[in-house]
């Protein structure tokens, strides 16, 4: 249930009820918050509306009735649209509102939206998430927060309804930069499991047994436990889509290039996931990377 520190919050808005946003909205409702939602495709909000959320017809209509507005949309242009277009969040923003963008976008976009929100008397946090669909459902997301510490404390209860690790990473943009570190690691951990799976298959090991034992030692990872097991049972439903991982890696590689940091491994992962996209597998889960390596090896 929402606590005493949430006394200033009458209503929380959430825009973007996709794979991540829908279970996050459900967890807000479960924690006792009054929730208003909007999503580009209304049908994706049905479960959340059924659980007690109220519909609003546009991002501005959400902002007009909410003290806290959360956005969870796919890419930088979507964030620009949701905040800055005529019927965007900024058009309806109340003074004193805290806007929390939990999408993964470029650090520059976070700074641009923040400037607009602050000019209207609101506060902005970039607070991208990790943990996949299962983490969103369980309310155990890792939340990487950039922006003013005061604003974070005002919405901490709201974030705690959705995540188990809420960490202040620095000023505006620092949440997104931390998320890029997260995606660099996720990408290479994914390649790690994929190469091991193809090798195991070719040399005749039982992949399930291999995954079981390596998960207990120095090779253990979230990727081994969650993506390896899905590769093993040929389940390519998205925990997190190839297309979105590619978007994140593109932002990471663009940032790395402009900061002059060579990322040879991340670059290779981006190229190999490009082969998934070329094969029409962009909307599958990232664990589909194993299929690219299988095609390379002819297994």
| Closer residue to its own copies, CB minimum distance, 119 or 181 | 181
129 is a site residue for its own copies (CB under 8 A): yes
Phi-psi region of 124 (alpha: psi -120 to 50; beta: other; left: phi over 0): beta
The CA distance from 65 to 48, in Å, is: 18
Q: Could you count the other beta carbons within 10 Å of the beta carbon of residue 248?
A: 22
Q: Report the residue from 28, 214, 242, 288 that binds its own copies according to the rule CB under 8 A.
A: 214
296 is a site residue for its own copies (CB under 8 A): yes
Which segment (36-44, 70-78, 85-93, 188-196) binds its own copies by CB under 8 A?
188-196
Strand 141-146 and strand 163-170: pairing? parallel
Instruction: Classify residue 226 by its DSSP letter.
Output: I
In 3-state terms, what secondary structure has residue 235? coil
109 is a site residue for its own copies (CB under 8 A): no
Which segment (70-78, 98-106, 117-125, 173-181) binds its own copies by CB under 8 A?
173-181
224 is a site residue for its own copies (CB under 8 A): yes
Q: Are 16 and 34 in contact (CB under 8 A)?
A: no
Q: Report the residue from 9, 12, 89, 193 that binds its own copies according to the rule CB under 8 A.
A: 193
In 3-state terms, what secondary structure has residue 40? coil
| Closer residue to its own copies, CB minimum distance, 2 or 189 | 189
Catalytic residue among 111, 164, 179, 291: 179
The CA distance from 150 to 164, in Å, is: 19
Q: Which residues contact 218 (CB under 8 A, 6 or more apart)?
A: none
Which segment (10-18, 117-125, 154-162, 175-183) binds its own copies by CB under 8 A?
175-183
Least separation, in Å, of the C-beta of 156 and its own copies? Answer: 15
The CA distance from 29 to 34, in Å, is: 7
9 is a site residue for its own copies (CB under 8 A): no
Residue 285 vs residues 54, 102, 179, 250, 290: alpha-carbon distances, Å: 31, 20, 19, 17, 11
The CA distance from 264 to 256, in Å, is: 11
275 is a site residue for its own copies (CB under 8 A): no
Q: Report the residue from 25, 53, 102, 141 that binds its own copies according to the rule CB under 8 A.
A: 141
7 is a site residue for its own copies (CB under 8 A): no
152 is a site residue for its own copies (CB under 8 A): no
Phi-psi region of 176 (alpha: psi -120 to 50; beta: other; left: phi over 0): alpha
20 is a site residue for its own copies (CB under 8 A): no
142 is a site residue for its own copies (CB under 8 A): yes
Q: Is 291 a catalytic residue?
A: no
293 is a site residue for its own copies (CB under 8 A): yes
| Closer residue to its own copies, CB minimum distance, 60 or 178 | 178
119 is a site residue for its own copies (CB under 8 A): no
Strand 141-146 and strand 129-130: pairing? antiparallel
Active-site residue list: 179
């Amino acid at each position: 249930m929402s606590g005493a520190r949430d006394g200033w919050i009458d209503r929380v808005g959430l825009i973007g009820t996709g794979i991540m946003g829908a279970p996050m909205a459900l967890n807000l409702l479960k924690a006792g918050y009054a929730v208003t939602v909007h999503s580009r495709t209304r049908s994706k909000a049905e479960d959340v509306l059924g659980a007690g959320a109220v519909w609003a017809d546009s991002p501005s209509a959400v902002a007009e009735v909410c003290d806290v507005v959360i956005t969870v949309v796919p890419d930088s242009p979507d964030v620009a649209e949701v905040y800055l277009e005529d019927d965007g969040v900024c058009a309806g923003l109340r003074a004193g509102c805290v806007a929390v963008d939990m999408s993964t976008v470029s650090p520059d976009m976070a700074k641009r939206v923040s400037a607009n929100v602050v000019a209207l008397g609101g506060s902005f946090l970039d607070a991208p998430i990790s943990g996949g669909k299962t983490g969103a459902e369980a309310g155990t997301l890792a939340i990487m927060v950039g922006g003013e510490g005061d604003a974070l404390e005002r919405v901490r209860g709201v974030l705690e309804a959705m995540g188990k690790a809420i960490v202040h990473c620095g000023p505006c943009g620092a949440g997104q930069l931390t998320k890029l570190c997260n995606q660099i690691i996720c990408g290479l951990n994914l390649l790690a499991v994929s190469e091991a799976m193809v090798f195991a298959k070719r040399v005749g090991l039982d992949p399930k047994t291999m995954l079981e034992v390596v998960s207990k030692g120095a090779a253990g990872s979230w990727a081994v436990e969650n993506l390896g097991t899905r590769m093993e049972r040929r389940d390519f439903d998205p925990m997190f889509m190839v297309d979105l991982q590619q978007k994140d890696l593109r932002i990471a590689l663009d940032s790395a290039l402009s900061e002059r940091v060579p990322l040879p491994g991340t670059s290779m992962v981006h190229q190999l996931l490009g082969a998934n996209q070329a094969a029409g597998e962009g909307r599958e889960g990232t664990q589909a990377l194993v299929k690219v390596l299988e095609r390379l090896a002819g297994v």
